Copies of this chain bind each other. A is one copy, B any other.
């Protein structure tokens, strides 16, 4: 996993990692003794989205696939793909026509990894073809790329992995929401916990 860090300060102070619940949420605490819950998928999505934006700025976006992915599309999908090809190229996809109704994906965004599953490539491109809001298409592709490789809910993480997601999240531009706007972090303040247990 690449780093999203640059000269910026983290957006929240370092948290103490406690563990994982339901293989979906990371548990941590801050210095004040608040309980912090983090949605591992939403958080990782935010981290990857910021990585992608940084790579786009730096122009280090595309990598060639060792084995190109061949897509068979319907005629109307093929027309659409021809239209948005340059946009996909800006995201790091290298796509060429490969005969009747067939396209060859030779390169993908660096963030997708060198040995990326052909299904992921197929899914991102066909999902993009279904997207009908032209003006937001590029944003939509970025979100799909970020989401597709982010750790899923239901995946058991090691402490190191959990800690690393939280650390990287703290350096992102908007750590409290994922690129789709869902919350990444829910806090129970120490005062709230005291109320729940009638300690106050």
Is A199 interfacial (CB 8 A cutoff)?
Answer: yes
Of A2-10, A33-41, A107-115, the one touching chain B: A33-41
Q: Check if A197 sits within 8 Å of B186, measured CB to CB.
A: yes
* Interface size counted on chain A using CB atoms at 8 A: 26
Q: Mark A164-200, 1 if CB is under 8 A from B, else 0.
A: 0000000000000000001100100010010011110
Is A144 interfacial (CB 8 A cutoff)?
Answer: no
Is A88 interfacial (CB 8 A cutoff)?
Answer: no
* Bound Cα distance A182, B34 (Å): 20
Q: Which residue of B lies closest to A183 (CB)?
A: B197
Is A140 interfacial (CB 8 A cutoff)?
Answer: no
Is A62 interfacial (CB 8 A cutoff)?
Answer: no
Contact (A27, B22) CB under 8 Å given A42-B197, A197-B182, A198-B183: no
Is A19 interfacial (CB 8 A cutoff)?
Answer: yes
* Bound Cα distance A182, B197 (Å): 7
A176 to chain B, nearest CB (A): 12
* Bound Cα distance A21, B27 (Å): 9
- Residues from chain B with a CB closer than 8 A to the CB of A199 are 39, 153, 182
Q: Check if B42 sits within 8 Å of A21, measured CB to CB.
A: no
* Bound Cα distance A186, B194 (Å): 11
Q: Interface residues, chain A, CB within 8 Å of chain B?
A: 18-25, 27, 29, 33-35, 37, 39, 42, 153, 182-183, 186, 190, 193, 196-199
Closest 4 pairs between A and B when the two form their complex, measured CB to CB: A22-B33, A18-B19, A39-B197, A21-B29
* 8 A-B pairs with C-beta separation under 8 A: A18-B18, A18-B20, A19-B19, A19-B27, A22-B35, A27-B27, A37-B193, A42-B197
